[in-house]
Structure 1
Amino acid sequence: MSDILVDHFGRLHNYVRISVTERCNLGCQYCNPGRVEKAVEGNPLTFDEIERMVRVLAEMGVTKVRLTGGEPLMRPNLEELVARLRAISGIERVGLTTNGLLLAPKVQKLRDAGLTDLNVSLDSLIPERYSRITGGGDVSKVLHALAAGFKAGFEVLKLNMVLMKGVNDDEIESFLQLTQKYPLHVRFIEYMPMGHDINGWEAGYMPLDRILERCAKAGFSLEAGPDPGRTTDEPAEKAADSGPARYFRIQGAAGQFGLIHPVSQHFCNSCNRLRITANGHVKPCLFWNEELYIRPYIGQSELLKQLFLRALEAKPGQHIMMDQPGIKPSLKATMRLMSQIGG
């Protein structure tokens, strides 16, 4: 049996997202409602455990790792883990997704340690609104962190904005204008029903096609933008960071924007990632509840490889986030919060 991570739908998995902590310093309504600041169960994987696990994954064809949370920068000395992962043969890129509040004083150390990709979550540019959405966050710290990221030498900075109808959809034009002025990759993400009481979720849901409508109304001339994760001519499904976003650029803009449609236009047929929770479970799919506990097998390379292959065997063809006529899900939706999965 081949150890390469290809599932029975033919999808090559060369990307792993690893949550390094469930703790977060914010309480965003779609990710960490109620502001869960302590791990829900167990202790997070140690740096040694993560390094040993990634060495096995690299042998199975993984080339990119993304560190997530919770808020990953709440894990002390994260730059040490970045350096250890970049030193693994076969690992070409190590990324970080953060809310940015703790980033500015640490970003140069992370860059020096070998961090290649930086994603910052930002759902509003209005201070009072940002504080309300996040449960007390300070947007000025995030904007300062973005400037520090450019100063540290990151050529590509991605800004993730979860679009919520009636909450922040009146800021679409403001985020688009950021791409005109700065070399940012703003990514609009549909609001997803995840792991908690979703009553009323549809009231906040807004399909991203509305953004293209806003562009047309504003008179923006759009052109297709390149995927910032692809640096070669290889097909998207083979790229190390082939992501779910469709990119566009306003003509003459310094940056571009992407649309990520997990609800209205699922991108499961090109999924190339596995997710590892902070306490050592592998989740084949973000949305479904199925997961395998791998922590006891870290350090036993062959057994760990077999568990990863079993996880791929359990990976479904797609997620179903909305009721679809004629489709009855055979799996249960995850009960984990987004902050417990790592996104």
Structure 2
Amino acid sequence: MLEDKFGRRFHYLRLSITDVCNFRCNYCLPDGYQCENDRDFLKVSEIKTLVSGFAKLGTSKVRITGGEPALRKDLCDIIKVCASTAGIEHIAMTTNGFKLESDIQAWVDAGLDALNISIDSLDPRMFASITGHNKLESILRGIDKALALGVRVKVNAVLMKQYNEKELEPFLAWLKTTPVTLRLIELMQTGDNNEFFQQNHVSGMPIKDKLLAGGWSQLIRDKSSGPAQEFYHPDFEGRMGLIMPYSKDFCASCNRLRISSLGKLHLCLFSEQGLDIRPALQSANDEMLQHQLTALLGDKKATHWLQEGYTGATKHLAMIGG
């Protein structure tokens, strides 16, 4: 079992398969994707070795991320490789949803069982202002198709003071009849968004207080769950989640490791640099990979230090999939 010196166990792998994204979200890539390195992304054969090695060390959940993973033409092959690996119980993906409506059936057929979809506003004009794309209606239809296919759906919305801070009520109205989990995520400071962060960061704590006062109850986290505090209400089909990385003890429940699309292990979203494990992947030697992962995990820190303004090498979240 992958376990660090603080007793945290890692059941959950976040696997980036590309750093390319076709959206221009104002909090992540406001100027669009800028190619800053060779696009020698992990091959399917390398991903097979990677997931096998992690599974043998106790990982049970793989989340495919980007950039935008749907930009990879071999996405379905990647999903199949992950889903067919012994020990892997759940295959999830995070997407901006631009191909959701057209491709969800193929993803499910390949083995996908859960989706996280970014929707920062339910107002089509605000959605287009934030992302640079007029795709909200198509994404909402895609969510309906995913739910009909039995996919567990979570929707991510980054809280921003100047954009969607006032949209809690529309989101709650949507959850009345829509069986998804909406996670409101505190805006995080990265290497290239300091001014935007200072202007737009909103704490999730007042929202948590409002939910509890309104009859919502907090759920107990599963071992492979993400970092959200999730809440349910008997009168709502959907659930509400809050991801508050600036809250006390946020890192105490960390259960995931990250692999970049170039084959580097990131012990934290805000780690100083990636640790190169690609030689083990290229040699198709998952035993070598297991030894390397176990050794490298000794360097994982107790916290991300975000509360002190530390952002490490993370220029923007598309680099290693958030």
TM-score bin (small chain): over 0.9
Q: Is the 2:93–2:116 Cα contact (8 Å) retained in structure 1?
A: yes
**Counterpart in 2 of 1:333?**
312
TM-score by length of 1: 0.88
RMSD of Structure 2 on Structure 1 (CA): 1.9
| Cα distance between partner residues in 2 of 1:49 and 1:139 | 35
Tell me how far 1:266 sits from its aligned partner: 4.6
Q: Is the 8 A contact 2:208 2:242 kept in 1?
A: no
The superposition leaves residues 125-149 of structure 1 with CA deviations (integer Å, 9 ceiling, x where unpaired) of 1111111111234211211111111
The residue aligned with 1:243 is: 226
1:338 maps to amino acid: L
Residue aligned with 2:246, SS? coil
Output the CA distance in 2 between the equivalents of 1:266 and 1:33. Answer: 31
Distance 1:282 1:336, change over 3 A: farther
The number of aligned residues is 320
Instruction: Give the Cα–Cα distance (whole angstroms) in 2 for the partners of residues 5 and 171 of structure 1.
Output: 40
- The answer for the alignment partner of 2:264 in structure 1 is 281
Distance 1:56 1:215, change over 3 A: closer
Report the TM-score, using the length of structure 2 for normalisation: 0.93
**Aligned to 1:125, what secondary structure does the other structure show?**
coil
2:297 maps to which of 303, 312, 318: 312
Asked whether the equivalents of residues 97 and 118 of structure 1 are also in contact (C-alpha less than 8 Å), the reply is yes
Instruction: Work out whether 1:262 is the aligned partner of 2:245.
Output: yes
1:229-286, CA deviations, whole angstroms, 9 ceiling, x for partnerless residues?
A: x4xxxxxxxx2x2221111123311111011111234521111111000111110001
Give yes or no for contact 1:283–1:311 (8 Å, CA) kept in 2.
Answer: no
How far has the Cα of 1:37 moved from its partner?
Answer: 5.8
Identity %: 34
Q: Tell me, what secondary structure is at the counterpart of 2:166?
A: helix
State which of 52, 56, 59 in structure 2 corresponds to 1:55.
52
Q: Tell me the distance in 2 between the aligned counterparts of 1:123 and 1:49.
A: 34
1:336: Cα distance to partner?
3.6
Report how far residue 18 of structure 1 moved: 0.5
Alignment partner of 1:211 is 2:182: no
Q: Determine if the alignment matches structure 1 residue 118 to structure 2 residue 115.
A: yes
The answer to whether the 8 Å contact 1:82/1:94 transfers is yes
What amino acid maps onto 1:268 in structure 2?
Answer: C
Asked if the contact 2:186–2:204 (Cα under 8 Å) also holds between the matched residues in 1, the reply is: yes
Quote the offset at 1:224 in angstroms: 2.6
Unaligned 5+ segments in structure 1 are 231-238
Q: Contact 2:27–2:193 at 8 Å: present in 1 too?
A: no
Match of 2:19 in 1: 22
Q: Give 3-state SS (helix, strand or coil) of 1:16's partner.
A: strand
